[in-house]
Amino acid sequence: MDQDRKHHDGEGILPDALALVSEALSRLRFGAIQLTVHDGRVMQIDVTERKRLND
């Protein structure tokens, strides 16, 4: 139970994941951020960036 609460109360890995997502959002102009979750924990963050070319 403490393990589950740890991830939902903002302790442990969740702040790390949120910091990485926030960093990716600040750099990303066009693209997508995908979170992979296993057993209620963020395990992987994939960032796909799109480059827009002017005509």
The domains of the chain are located at: 2-49
Query: What pLDDT is attached to residue 10?
Result: 47
DSSP string, 15-35: HHHHHHHHHHHHH-SSEEEEE
pLDDT, block means (10 residues), the chain with 55 residues: 48 82 94 94 94 84
Q: CB count, 10 Å around CB of 44?
A: 10
- Let me know: does 8 contact 2? Beta carbons within 8 Å: no
Query: What pLDDT is attached to residue 2?
Result: 46
Q: Is 0.75 topped by the overall pTM? A: no
Query: What pLDDT is attached to residue 14?
Result: 84
Give the three-class secondary structure for 10: coil
Q: Is 52 exposed, middle or buried (0-12, 13-18, 19+ CB in 10 A)?
A: exposed
